[in-house]
């Protein structure tokens, strides 16, 4: 998969130690003009040709970093010099000059592999004996991820210094990585892969061949785990599957062989490969061998443990039992275990560690399911695991809870994998099946474990309808006698989660498995209400229990948090949040939302977040809820409380910043945008940290981690969050002006992005837990303004920004080319080519993106940009570079008509503020179309800049051909005026909407009004049952939330709306 090439940060270059002091001080002080002058003086006085050349390159590098036009000219000269040397095959005999040339070109776009990298490779070929200089060149190629030239240098070093085994494995690694680059031709790719595999195979074969005198292994053989791991990975990636299976199941190169030699990672790698390849018989046999060996070790250890315990008892003084504390007993027990394990070899310890890995047992279960005698194999696995657990108990006195939990989880896996006897048990009148009993026991034992729900979820989904009903009944109801204590609430929260899973698993028109009602949607409405009510009942009683609240302060497990989460998610589903299609209809996510249910969910979560501020899932849920209802300032306070670290900005940043510029202009009023921090993190990680990590990995001979680091860096460069940060920042800057900052193609993190680069969304949505079934909307979709970041939307954003840069670019007034006619023709040719590229790019991506990747407002905006690109290209190609014909004029008019129709639809898609009796409640709806308003403004800016660009193009014609210019302006001017008028009308409409919303947000009485909307009786009498539920639920929630908390919440919402619309008032439209 291709990825954009992002240049690394330039490395600092120091001058030679014997340079003059004034030159060295100017260079270190970054006084580049002085350094260039001093270098030229030194060049003139130098007598040696090599010294003259060195100071010439120093001068060139200094001018390249000088300010103003001198720096521009210096960079152009440096780039030209390097490209000329690469093209002319000019030899360079000084590695220091290469460093200076690289530094001189660090600020210009340059194909490193074809220029500096190529020169470094030639230098090493010409002077292979200079080991230090060759390594210097190799490191530079690593820094720039130039695997093509790094491979050539590594091969030369391996050939010249074959006694140094590091160069062999660097050669193997770089040969493989060079084959994986986009630059590698297809005819060489397979050759390089085969070469890397053959070299690795040869090194592996040599590891078994000991010298005749019985001393060390062959110097070019694999010896340590990192080298074995690289061999395994290369075999998996480059060899035929059938050859690998034969090799990895042999006694000399299989998992057991690696385990015997202490290569744990190689063992795991080959085990995973066998699992993926379906070598079930071999996998089961290996599992039996490892488990059997581990049991024998534990049994021997158990004997030693028992002997040590007896020895302690014999030496114990009378009365010591009564005076010994529990802490002292634990310490002595640890001493006994340490003594009993003292005789264990490293190999034995390794077998014990591997046998405690749950993957081994899970793999045996999967392998057993693929055998002809499945039940027998499963029973053998269970008995072996039971024996291992008992042996471990005897060896250590007690078994850690994690191992015991894994064993119980394994027994569930085996039980559900065996042929079910459920029907027979129910036919015999059994109240519960074995599967139900085991599931209930598992929950009763591990209800405190955070993964308990995820553990049992697949098992619960496998139960029959009757089993599920029995199971849920056995977990208790909201009136359970244990509901007032911690364990009772934890189990009840588990029951409600499972009920929610069941309530969201049916399709529309099917019966609900729990209550047998017909589902009108993908959710069972009756069950959702029942679950929400049950969650609120238990939450209300729980927060009144002082003992429970004290217990929650000392534990990470929180049943009240679970009750809040599941209850609020039920309310959001009842409210219909996320029900509308993002691609069609109104721009507001609230267009068909039940406001009361939504606000009840917000107030509930707000209450508990204020009680337990560090509850991350609820805080993130509340952040998304506030963003959705337009309370951005309140959402930002909560977001800032997370303190998101640099390392996870890529995975979490989109949860808050995505589409923020079109929602809240207030956050972009300064020249430093909220996304600048994200860009700094990306820049440091991609341009400095990853190249540095690659060097360090090779320094410590951790070869295969280089490939993984390279892959991580490539994935980061393809991140949608990176594109989002750039685009959101530019849009935010345009809110206060008509410019989006620097040209997007001058941004090193994004300038090389092309359509063939597959961009990826790396957002971690685990902060928004999902309890729902396969047919329910994920929480991330319920709580979003639109679809999550995607490849399609990211590329459309880049193309639109490039178009805006293109039409808003103005040449400096003092620009006076020597040949105006020729320069003008070059400009027109470039403009036509640019418009064609943008037109083709959007034309390819937009049809595929409209349905699943864009909001309606975004779809209209990119459609407008596409038609503007078509319009500009048509005018330039047929009315600017040549005289227009009547047919061309009609074509242009037709394009403008289509453009204005699209733009009018986009503008009318905004939600209007009603003026009837319900006008004030619509403010909560009105807070939602701000995203659509932001996209309308983007369209108006694009239209206005396009009109200016085309007008300027016609003016240029007048300057060279007054008659033709007047002729083109006569028919084109009225059409452009239509576009300007449409943009101005749209601006007036949006500004009027902002004025109305701002006025309503600033009216008094918000505390009472919001409380009425949230807790009042607002149900139409057509549905008595729903009205009764709403009234009872609202009353209970109102009684649960203290009045001061309700008033604080209402006041913060009103203030946040006022700040939002005040920010929109400051947006520059003209």
Highest mean pLDDT (candidates 721-730, 740-749, 901-910, 964-973): 721-730
351-373 as b/e: b if 16+ CB within 10 A: bbebbbeeebbbbbbbbbbeeee
| Band of residue 422 on the pLDDT scale cut at 50, 70, 90 | very low
State which of 977, 995, 1013 marks the end of a domain.
977
Specify the 3-state DSSP secondary structure of 54. Answer: helix
Domain range for 468: 420-474
Alpha-carbon distance of 279 to 270, in angstroms, equals 11
Of 346-350, 420-424, 507-511, the one with minimum mean pLDDT is 420-424
The alpha helices in 543-664, defined as continuous H runs, are 546-552, 559-575, 595-611, 616-628, 632-642, 649-657
Q: Closest Cα partner for 401 from 447, 352, 446?
A: 446
Strands (E), 114-173: none
- Can you say whether the dihedral through the CA atoms of 600, 606, 611, 617 is positive or negative? positive
pLDDT at residue 949, rounded to an integer: 92
- pLDDT tens-digit profile of 446-501? 998 889 999 999 999 999 888 898 899 888 554 444 445 788 899 999 999 999 99
Q: Tell whether the model's pLDDT for residue 572 goes beyond 90.
A: yes
**Residue 189: inside a domain, yes or no?**
yes
Q: Judge contact between 71 and 43, C-beta under 8 A.
A: no
**Residue 306: inside a domain, yes or no?**
no
**Residue 964: inside a domain, yes or no?**
yes
619-638 as b/e: b if 16+ CB within 10 A: bbbbbbbbbbbbbbbbbbeb
Q: Tell whether the model's pLDDT for residue 316 goes beyond 60.
A: no
User: What are residue 217's phi and psi, to 5 degrees?
Assistant: -70, 170
- pLDDT tens-digit profile of 375-386? 999 999 999 999
Q: Tell whether the model's pLDDT for residue 238 goes beyond 70.
A: yes
Q: What number is the average pLDDT over the span 767-785?
A: 84
- Looking at per-residue confidence, does 77 or 612 come out higher? 77
**Residue 165: inside a domain, yes or no?**
yes
- Looking at per-residue confidence, does 70 or 120 come out higher? 120
Q: Tell whether the model's pLDDT for residue 350 goes beyond 90.
A: no
pLDDT at residue 333, rounded to an integer: 61
Give the distance between the most distant pair of CA atoms in the chain: 120
Q: Closest Cα partner for 844 from 866, 812, 864?
A: 866
- pLDDT tens-digit profile of 869-879? 999 999 999 88
- Looking at per-residue confidence, does 881 or 625 come out higher? 625
Q: Judge contact between 411 and 382, C-beta under 8 A.
A: yes
Alpha-carbon distance of 739 to 724, in angstroms, equals 18
- pLDDT tens-digit profile of 508-527? 778 888 888 888 777 888 99
Alpha-carbon distance of 119 to 104, in angstroms, equals 15
State which of 949, 977, 1005 marks the end of a domain.
977
Alpha-carbon distance of 866 to 625, in angstroms, equals 33
Q: What percent of the chain has pLDDT above 90?
A: 54
**Residue 567: inside a domain, yes or no?**
no
Q: What number is the average pLDDT over the span 411-436?
A: 68
Alpha-carbon distance of 653 to 371, in angstroms, equals 47
Tokens representing 735 are: 């809110």
- Can you say whether the dihedral through the CA atoms of 870, 873, 876, 882 is positive or negative? negative
**Global confidence as pTM:** 0.90
- pLDDT tens-digit profile of 362-373? 999 999 999 889
Q: Give 646's contacts (C-beta < 8 A, 6+ positions apart).
A: 681, 684, 685
Rg from Cα positions in the chain? 35
**Residue 44: inside a domain, yes or no?**
yes
**Residue 459: inside a domain, yes or no?**
yes
Of 271-275, 310-314, 662-666, the one with minimum mean pLDDT is 310-314
The alpha helices in 670-790, defined as continuous H runs, are 676-684, 690-699, 703-717, 720-734, 779-782
What spatial distance separates the first Cα and last Cα of the chain, rounded to whole Å? Answer: 44
- Block residue for tokens 């015991």: 404
Q: Closest Cα partner for 345 from 416, 260, 407, 245?
A: 260
**Residue 98: inside a domain, yes or no?**
yes
- Looking at per-residue confidence, does 782 or 95 come out higher? 95
Q: Closest Cα partner for 227 from 693, 695, 705, 694?
A: 705
| Band of residue 236 on the pLDDT scale cut at 50, 70, 90 | very high
- Looking at per-residue confidence, does 972 or 785 come out higher? 972
- pLDDT tens-digit profile of 34-62? 999 999 999 999 888 889 999 999 999 99
Q: What number is the average pLDDT over the span 226-246?
A: 93
Q: Tell whether the model's pLDDT for residue 343 goes beyond 80.
A: no
Alpha-carbon distance of 907 to 901, in angstroms, equals 10
pLDDT at residue 545, rounded to an integer: 85
Number of domains within the chain: 3
pLDDT at residue 804, rounded to an integer: 94
Q: Judge contact between 951 and 625, C-beta under 8 A.
A: no
Q: Tell whether the model's pLDDT for residue 148 goes beyond 80.
A: yes
Q: How high is the mean pLDDT of the chain?
A: 86
């Amino acid at each position: 998969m291709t990825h954009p090439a992002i240049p690394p940060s330039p490395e600092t270059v120091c001058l030679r130690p014997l340079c003059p002091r004034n030159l060295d001080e100017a260079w270190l002080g970054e006084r580049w003009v002085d350094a260039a002058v001093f270098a030229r003086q030194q060049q003139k006085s130098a007598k040696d040709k090599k010294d003259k050349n060195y100071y010439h390159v120093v001068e060139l590098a200094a001018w390249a970093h000088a300010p103003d036009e001198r720096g521009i000219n210096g960079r152009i000269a440096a780039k030209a010099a390097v490209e000329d040397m690469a093209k002319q095959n000019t030899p360079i005999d000084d590695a220091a000059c290469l460093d200076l040339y690289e530094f001189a070109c660090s600020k210009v776009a340059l194909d490193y592999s074809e220029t500096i990298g190529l020169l470094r490779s030639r230098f090493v070929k010409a002077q292979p004996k200079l080991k230090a200089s060759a390594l210097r060149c190799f490191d530079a190629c690593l820094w720039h991820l130039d695997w093509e030239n790094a491979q050539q240098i590594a091969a030369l070093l391996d050939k010249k210094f074959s006694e140094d085994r590091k160069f062999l494995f660097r050669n193997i690694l770089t040969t493989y990585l060079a084959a994986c680059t986009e630059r590698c031709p297809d005819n060489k790719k397979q050759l390089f892969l085969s070469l890397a595999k053959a070299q690795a195979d040869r090194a592996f074969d040599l590891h078994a061949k000991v010298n005749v005198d019985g001393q060390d292994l062959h110097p070019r053989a694999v010896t340590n785990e990192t080298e074995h791991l690289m061999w395994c990975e290369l075999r998996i990636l480059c060899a035929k599957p059938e050859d690998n299976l034969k090799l990895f199941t042999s006694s000399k190169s299989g998992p057991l062989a690696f385990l015997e030699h202490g290569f744990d990672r190689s063992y795991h790698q080959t085990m995973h490969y066998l699992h993926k390849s379906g070598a079930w018989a071999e996998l089961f046999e290996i599992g039996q061998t490892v488990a059997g060996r581990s049991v024998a070790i534990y049994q021997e250890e158990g004997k030693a443990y028992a002997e040590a315990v007896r020895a302690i008892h014999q030496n114990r003084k009378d009365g010591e039992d009564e005076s010994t504390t529990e802490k002292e007993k634990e310490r002595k027990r640890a001493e006994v275990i340490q003594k009993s394990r003292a005789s264990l070899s490293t190999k034995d310890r390794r077998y014990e560690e591997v046998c405690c890995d749950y993957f081994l047992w899970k793999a045996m279960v999967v392998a057993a399911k693929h055998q002809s005698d499945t039940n027998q194999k499963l029973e053998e696995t269970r008995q072996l695991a039971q024996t291992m657990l008992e042996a471990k108990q005897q060896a250590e006195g007690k078994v850690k809870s994690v191992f015991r939990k894994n064993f119980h989880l394994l027994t569930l896996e085996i039980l559900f994998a065996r042929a079910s006897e459920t029907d027979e048990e129910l036919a015999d009148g059994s109240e519960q099946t074995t599967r139900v009993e085991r599931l209930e026991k598992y929950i009763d034992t591990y209800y405190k474990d955070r993964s308990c729900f995820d553990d049992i979820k697949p098992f619960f989904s496998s139960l029959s309808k009757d089993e599920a009903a029995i199971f849920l009944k056995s977990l208790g109801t909201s009136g359970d006698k244990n509901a007032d204590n911690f364990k009772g609430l934890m189990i009840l929260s588990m029951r409600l989660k499972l009920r929610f899973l069941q309530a969201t698993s049916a399709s529309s028109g099917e019966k609900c498995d729990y209550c047998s009602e017909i589902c009108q949607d993908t959710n069972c409405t009756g069950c959702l209400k029942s679950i929400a009510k049950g969650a609120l009942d238990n939450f209300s009683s729980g927060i009144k229990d002082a003992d429970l609240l004290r217990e929650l302060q000392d534990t990470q497990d929180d049943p009240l948090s679970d009750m809040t989460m599941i209850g609020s998610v039920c309310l959001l589903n009842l409210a219909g949040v996320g029900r509308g299609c993002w691609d069609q209809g109104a721009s507001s996510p609230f267009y068909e939302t039940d406001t009361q249910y939504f606000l009840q969910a917000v107030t509930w979560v707000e209450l508990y977040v204020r009680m337990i501020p560090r509850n991350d899932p609820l805080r993130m849920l509340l952040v998304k809820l506030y963003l959705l209802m337009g309370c951005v300032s309140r959402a930002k306070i909560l977001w800032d409380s997370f303190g998101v670290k640099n390392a996870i900005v890529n995975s979490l940043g989109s949860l808050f910043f995505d589409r923020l510029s079109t929602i809240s202009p207030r956050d972009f009023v300064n020249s430093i945008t909220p996304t600048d921090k994200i860009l700094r993190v990306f820049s440091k990680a991609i341009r400095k940290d990853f190249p540095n990590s690659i060097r360090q990995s090779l320094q410590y001979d951790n070869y295969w981690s280089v490939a993984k680091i390279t892959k991580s860096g490539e994935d980061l460069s393809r991140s949608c969050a990176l594109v989002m940060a750039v685009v959101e920042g530019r849009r935010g800057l345009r809110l206060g002006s008509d410019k989006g900052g620097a040209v997007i193609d001058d941004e090193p993190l994004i300038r090389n992005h092309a359509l063939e680069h597959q961009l990826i969304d790396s957002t971690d949505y685990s902060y928004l837990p999902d309890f729902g079934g396969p047919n329910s909307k994920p929480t991330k979709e319920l709580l979003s303004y639109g679809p999550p970041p995607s490849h399609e939307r990211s590329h459309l954003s880049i193309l639109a920004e490039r178009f805006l840069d293109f039409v808003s670019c103005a040449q400096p007034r003092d620009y006076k080319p020597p040949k105006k006619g020729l320069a003008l023709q070059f400009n027109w040719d470039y403009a036509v080519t640019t418009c064609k590229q943008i037109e083709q790019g959007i034309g390819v991506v937009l049809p595929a993106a409209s349905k699943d990747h864009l909001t309606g407002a975004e779809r209209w905006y990119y459609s407008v940009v596409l038609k503007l690109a078509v319009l500009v290209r048509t005018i330039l190609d047929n009315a600017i570079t040549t005289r227009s014909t009547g047919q061309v004029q009609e074509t242009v008019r037709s394009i403008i008509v289509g453009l204005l129709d699209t733009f009018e639809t986009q503008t009318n898609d905004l939600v209007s503020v009603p003026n009837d009796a319900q006008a004030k409640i619509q403010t909560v709806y009105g807070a939602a179309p701000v995203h659509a308003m932001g996209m309308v403004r983007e369209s108006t800016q694009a239209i206005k800049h396009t009109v200016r660009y085309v007008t300027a193009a016609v003016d240029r014609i007048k300057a060279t051909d007054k008659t033709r210019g007047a002729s083109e302006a006569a028919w084109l001017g009225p059409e452009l005026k239509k576009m300007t008028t449409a943009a101005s009308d749209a601006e007036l409409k949006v500004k009027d909407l902002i004025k109305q919303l701002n006025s309503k947000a600033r009216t008094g009485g918000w505390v009472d009004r919001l409380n009425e909307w949230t807790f009042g009786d607002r149900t139409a009498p057509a549905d008595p049952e729903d009205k009764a539920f709403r009234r009872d639920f609202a009353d209970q929630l109102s009684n649960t939330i203290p009045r001061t908390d309700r008033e604080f919440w209402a006041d913060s919402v009103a203030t946040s709306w006022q700040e939002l619309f005040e920010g929109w008032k400051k947006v520059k439209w003209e």
